[in-house]
Amino acid sequence: MTIRILEKVCVGCGECAHSCPMEALSIWTRAKCDPDLCTDCLACIPYCPVDALTGEE
Amino acid sequence: MRNSYDVVIIGSGVGGLGAAARLVAAGHSVLVLEKLPLLGGRYASMQYKGFTLSTGAEALECGGALEEQFHVVGAPFDVQKPNPDIMYRVGDREFELPPGGGGLRRMLSFIGKPGEGDKVMNALKRALSWEEPAKGMTLKDWIGQYTDDPDIHGFFQSFSAAILTINANEATAWAFIRFIKVLGGKIVHAFATHGPSHLMDGLAQKVTEHGGEVLTRARVQRILVEDGAVRGVIFEKDGDQMEVTARAVISNAGPRGTVRLAGRENFDRAYLKVMDETLRPTPSSGVYIASDRPLMEHPGCLMPIGTRRVCWIVNPTTLCPDLAPRGKHLMLSFNAFSDSLSTQNLEEDIRQNIQDLREMFPDFDSHAEILMAVNFYGDWPIYHAWPGEDLPQKTPIENLYNVGDGVKVPGMIGLESAAETARLVAENLKARLARK
């Protein structure tokens, strides 16, 4: 499973960036995930207050 | 876990945990359900690159309902108060508004052309002591009747964007005057010494010690309603679905969230009409900045006047060095959206925010690094209601209340506005629970 950011739902609040142990998520008005740093741990998903993160096969 | 409580509270923001603290202190059984893994809502903090960054608010208000909700359960209120509280800046001139009132007249005569500030002050004085302006007029148009001084308009724009979090051509003069009446000269800001979560986790800990239960990763799926009254909630935790009954439910999920959870069909149509037509969230963006030397001397909040977009700058690490790695400093710079009803200009607004910082702080490019540029809007806003357009705390469903920044008392702002709703709801509920 890899992380998918629903761009239309994401408000860019930054909670997922805080939660990522690899610092793979950055925020510049919207969340962006660096696939080279992301380990697919999906730890960020529950931190999103607007449900903009999902796991994708 | 029991299957019945006096009160179930949905959400652990300042309003939710505040209500929990007040109710457990009075001996009631309380269950708090937070869907996220962390407590505190938009007043929480997490680590990022060694910095303790807030999930929303950085400064808190002392001396009112917010501080009191910590004291009622004996939770630590470990904060640092900057002195002076707020500095104002026009060009390269800085000005301090002394606490206790009377400073606004001096401020306006400091920034405006001779005599222009007095014209506005006389109108303001009349509005405060005689009749408030009707709700239909914006703050900018209202001020415009008395002066066209650009620096005075710049002051009201920054003030509106920072305090009401919408622009002076969007906020009503009525909401601004209510703020001056209710909180003007009374706010004392502070920073949580070890970050917002340190305070909010400490509050939750005391709620638990008083017999309350606080669950994270517990997502409410449905507020149960029977014969026009609330009966309990169904929630999901660790893949299990659970149902608990309650004599009352308090929602800190925002009025729209509350309606979604309880089902529109259970609400009075007049309430839905008001909600659908008038309830709008206020947005803002913020830039979090790391630097290897303090970019500003003042150890508190700065309101710049006459900028492109920046309206509120916070410097927490002079007083709270633990919030940054050793040798580093943190600054937050906020802007209202150029159009509070649109997300079209997010990138440009943030670009202008950063351009303002470059001009204000000559060290910016050589000593600062931007950690994040974040937004708050929609279902994760600054306030769930434009100031002055809030819904009441009681819903049409008996024993179902809202707390938080969508049901503020007119004139209240900041975290204090959410804490005040918790105080009001807890007082009302304590009386009701005692009667049965």
Q: Considering chain B, what percentage of its residues have pLDDT values greater than 90?
A: 90
Q: Please give the pLDDT value at position B110.
A: 86
Question: Could you tell me whether strands B79-80 and B59-62 are parallel, antiparallel, or unpaired per DSSP bridges?
Answer: unpaired
| Inter-residue contact B385 to B164 (CB < 8 Å) | no
Asked if B167 and B161 touch (Cβ cutoff 8 Å), the reply is yes
- Report the residue count for chain B: 436
Task: Check if the beta carbon of residue B207 is closer than 8 Å to that of residue B73.
Answer: yes
Could you count the other beta carbons within 10 Å of the beta carbon of residue B239?
5
What is the C-alpha to C-alpha distance for residues A21 and A43, in angstroms, rounded to an integer? 8
Three-state DSSP string of A1-57? CEEEECCCCCCCCCHHHHHCCCCCEEEECCEEECCCCCCCCCCCHHHCCCCCEEEEC
Cis status of the peptide bond prior to B84, with omega within 30 of 0: yes
Cβ atoms B33, B215 nearer than 8 A: yes
Q: What is the distance between the alpha carbons of residues B312 and B159, in angstroms, rounded to a whole number? A: 9
3-class secondary structure, B46: strand
> What's the pTM value of the predicted model, to 2 decimals?
0.96
Q: Evaluate the CA torsion angle B45, B46, B49, B50 in order and state its sign.
A: positive
Considering only CB atoms, B373 lies closest to which of A18, A29, A49, namely A29
State the nearest Cα–Cα gap between A17 and chain B, in angstroms. 7
- Position B99 scores a pLDDT of 61
Residues belonging to chain B with any Cβ–Cβ distance to chain A shorter than 8 Å: 36-38, 46-49, 53, 55-56, 217, 285, 288, 346-347, 350, 372-380
Euclidean distance between CA atoms B359 and B91, whole angstroms: 9
Q: Is the pLDDT of residue B280 over 90?
A: yes
The pLDDT of residue B272: 98
State the pLDDT at residue B101.
64
Mean pLDDT computed over B360-372: 95
d(CA B407, CA B206): 26
Which positions in chain A touch B56 (Cβ < 8 Å)? 13
pLDDT above 70: percentage of residues in chain B: 99
Which 8-state DSSP code applies to residue B150?
A: H
- Grade residue B187 by pLDDT with cuts at 50, 70 and 90: confident
**Tokens representing residue B402 in the block:** 């809202």
Q: Chain A contacts of B49, Cβ < 8 Å?
A: 23
Query: Hey, what are B239's tokens?
Result: 């893949």
Contact predicate B16/B250, CB 8 Å: yes
Fold of B4-78+194-278+386-435: FAD/NAD(P)-binding domain (3.50.50)
Lowest mean pLDDT among B204-213, B300-309, B380-389, B427-436: B427-436
Q: Tokens 């929480």 map to which residue?
A: B44
Specify the amino acid at residue B305: I
Give the least confident one: A32-36, B129-133, B213-217, B255-259. Answer: B129-133
Q: pLDDT averaged over chain B?
A: 95
**Beta strand B213-215 pairing with B30-33:** parallel
Residue B273 banded pLDDT, cuts 50, 70, 90: very high
**ipTM > 0.90 (yes/no):** yes
Closest CA to A56 of A18, A5, A12, A19: A5
B277-300 mean pLDDT:
96
State mean pLDDT over B102-131. 90
- Greatest CA separation found in chain A? 26
The predicted pLDDT at position A26 comes to 94
The answer for A 1-57 residues in CB contact with B (under 8 A) is: 11-15, 17-19, 23, 26-29, 46-47, 49-50
DSSP string, B57-115: --EEEESSHHHHHHHTTT----EE--SSSEEEEETTEEEE--TTSSHHHHHHHHHSSTT
Ordered structural domains, chain A, with CATH:
2-56 (3.30.70.20)
Q: Inter-chain contact A29–B38, Cβ cutoff 8 Å?
A: no
- Residue B12, number of CB atoms within 10 A of its CB: 31
Q: CATH 3.50.50.60 region(s) of chain B?
A: 4-78+194-278+386-435
Per-residue confidence (pLDDT) for residue A1, from 0 to 100: 86
Give me the pLDDT at residue B23, please: 98
**Rounded mean pLDDT, B316-345:** 97
Q: Categorize the per-residue pLDDT at B103 as very low, low, confident or very high, splitting at 50, 70 and 90.
A: confident
Smallest CA–CA distance, residue A12 to chain B, in Å, is 5
Each as own residue / partner, the long-range contacts of residues B127-131 (CB below 8 Å, 24 or more positions apart, any chain) are B127/B173, B127/B177, B128/B177, B128/B180, B128/B181
Integer-rounded Cα radius of gyration of chain B: 22
pLDDT for the residue numbered B413: 96
User: Which positions in chain A touch B374 (Cβ < 8 Å)?
Assistant: 12-14, 27, 29
Relative orientation angle of helices B255-262 and B269-278, to the nearest 10 degrees: 140
Cβ contacts (< 8 Å) between B373 and chain A: which residues?
12, 27-29
Q: Does the pLDDT value for residue B412 go beyond 70?
A: yes
List pLDDT tens digits, range A28-57. Answer: 999 999 999 999 999 999 999 999 999 988
pLDDT score, position B436: 62
For residue B100, the model assigns a pLDDT of 61
| pLDDT tens by residue, B125-147 | 999 999 889 888 999 999 999 99
What chain B residue is nearest to A47 in terms of C-alpha separation? B36
Q: What pLDDT digit, counting tens, does each position of B158-167 carry?
A: 999 999 999 9
CB contact at 8 A, B38 and B216 = yes
* Protein fold of B282-376: Polyamine Oxidase; Chain A, domain 2 (3.90.660)
For the domain bounded by B86-182, which CATH number is listed? 3.90.660.50
CATH 3.90.660.50 placement within chain B: 86-182, 282-376
What integer pLDDT is reported at residue B327 of this predicted model? 95
> pLDDT category, B395, cuts 50, 70, 90?
very high
Angle at B48 between CA B43 and CA B52, to 5 degrees: 45
- Per-residue model confidence (pLDDT) at position B97: 74
- Residue B256: CB partners within 8 Å, gap ≥ 6? B275, B279, B379, B384, B406
